[in-house]
Amino acid sequence: MIDISNYEAWFITGSQHLYGPETLEEVARHSQEIAKELGTKLPINIVYKPVLTGPQEIYKLMQEANNTPNCVGLIAWMHTFSPAKMWINGLKILQKPLAHLHTQYNRDIPWDAIDMDFMNTNQSAHGDREFGFIGSRMRLSRKVIVGHWQSEDVRERLSIWSRVASAWADWQGAKFVRFGDNMRYVAVTEGDKVEAEIKFGYEVNTYGIGDLVAEVNAVTDEQIAGLVATYEQEYELGDNLKEGGEKRESLRDAARIELGMRKFLTDRNAKGFTDTFEDLHGMKQLPGIATQRLMADGYGFGGEGDWKTSALVRAMKVMGAGLPGGNSFMEDYTYHFAPGNEQVLGSHMLEICPTIAEGKVRAEIHPLGIGGKEDPVRLVFNCPAGPALNATIVDMGNRFRMIVNTVEAVAPEQDLPNLPVARVLWKVHPDMKTGLAAWILAGGAHHTGYSQNLTSEYLEDFAEMAGIEYLIIDEDTKLRTFKNELRFNEVAFKG
Ligand code: MN
């Protein structure tokens, strides 16, 4: 469902008139070549823009970038020296993410041929410093990427930035639907929705569950039969859900819920949602398989009214669009404290996204202790071993804080035959005690976005674009340093 291939980043090159038309033509040729080459390597389109040599054209280009919906950001490079006061008014109005590519056309110094003409054209080593200064002087959020443009490393940095910029663009004006309020008394899933819309660009609004129920009740038998056939095709059904099984009607109820929810969300052009077991009036089951399949199609989700996590899961899915592996709503559920083999079991009551599954996915029905509704149908599966991470955004009252913990997912050592939900096991970085202490000291939520295909660099870039606090807990984390970072950030984000 998520396709970022229509998004574009503009490749802009700074220079000035001082060099004369010949040099500027060469600069333009080089830039065109770089933009074209990067365009073939990056997940979004790279659009070459004519070389910028004066403040009016810079200002005009920034206006155009702001007003081009598909433009997710600018990649700037100063091939020659571009006096940066020319950039002030343009950068002042720029509302799109900025990547400063600190590169040069030639990889190597042409030792035998180099002369002052060559030096005159190829001076990004100091031209980019002038641009860097004005960025810092104006306190601009941006990503600085250093290296030769043909190197794998630079492409990877740019690829990550362009995916993150796409997720940021996707958030602007995005709609997240809340079915019911936050779970009663829960603190961390609360937050300032007005501030979130100001800061992040997405809206969060509540809809009465009755409006969803009306949509669910309007689903036809024919539609239900079609979706049940899809379930049969895609999943291994528990015996009692099969044709003639005693719970077959519950599978049809689950399909009805999915069809109703899908229509409700599609009609409102929503990109994610929340629900809560405390507000299911008129619903037969807490949505399980429905939520799981909607997540797999790209919708963000947060349980118990957790709209911040719903939006974050959506953003992570956009960043990871088309990459192998998946992104899911997650909750740290229970611990394995065996010395030397400490693990976290991540899961939720029902709602783990099957994009992170490994092996067979079973559709099963089991009782659910809370919610007071009929047994919900859910997808049950394991998840593969490998590097992963958990990310959360919490509202600290005066600011939003993102916390990321890199983890190593491990294959389950046992079968867990009685656990009726999807599950994933992981080892926390840098180690169980340090990682969990840091997470708890930072106020990290019990809900997260769990990712198999994003590194912490994605989330760091995202926090930078959003202008929010970012805390990483990874293999390098030392608790004493981390505690100081928390203290220092209280000052850095004061106001
Ligand atoms: Mn939960």
Q: What string of DSSP letters covers 204-215?
A: EEEE-HHHHHHH
Q: Which candidate, 317, 256, 331, places its Cα nearest to that of 287? A: 256
- Residue spans of the chain under pLDDT 70: 495
The residues facing 378 across adjacent strands are: 364
317 CA to centre of ligand 1 in angstroms: 19
119 CA to centre of ligand 1 in angstroms: 60
448 CA to centre of ligand 1 in angstroms: 10
CA 414, chain centre distance (Å): 32
The residues facing 389 across adjacent strands are: 406, 451
Contact 241, 366 (CB under 8 A): no
β-strands 272-274, 175-179 pairing: parallel
175 CA to centre of ligand 1 in angstroms: 21
49 CA to centre of ligand 1 in angstroms: 47
* pLDDT on residue 98: 98
**CB 144: neighbour CB atoms within 10 A?**
13
**Residue 21, preceding bond cis, omega within 30 degrees?**
no
394 CA to centre of ligand 1 in angstroms: 15
296 CA to centre of ligand 1 in angstroms: 18
Contact 336, 411 (CB under 8 A): no
**In 252-280, which positions are buried (b, 16+ CB within 10 angstroms) versus exposed (e)?**
bbbbbbbbbbbbbbeeeebbbbbbbbbbb
Residue in the structure block whose two tokens are 């403040």? 55
> For the residues of 385-425, what is the DSSP string, one character each?
-EEEEEEEEEE-SSSEEEEEEEEEEE--SS--TT--S--EE
377 CA to centre of ligand 1 in angstroms: 17
CA 141, chain centre distance (Å): 18
* C-alpha torsion sign, points 215, 217, 221, 224: positive
304 CA to centre of ligand 1 in angstroms: 6
432's tokens: 């169980």
449 CA to centre of ligand 1 in angstroms: 12
348 CA to centre of ligand 1 in angstroms: 6
64 CA to centre of ligand 1 in angstroms: 43
367 CA to centre of ligand 1 in angstroms: 17
CA 363, chain centre distance (Å): 28
* pLDDT on residue 313: 98
* pLDDT on residue 495: 67
* pLDDT on residue 369: 86
421 CA to centre of ligand 1 in angstroms: 13
- Could you give the C-alpha distances from 144 to 107, 148, 172, 176, in angstroms and in order? 18, 13, 23, 32
**In 352-369, which positions are buried (b, 16+ CB within 10 angstroms) versus exposed (e)?**
bbbbbbeeebbbbbbebe
Q: Which candidate, 459, 427, 183, 422, places its Cα nearest to that of 302? A: 183
294 CA to centre of ligand 1 in angstroms: 17
145's tokens: 């990427």
284 CA to centre of ligand 1 in angstroms: 20
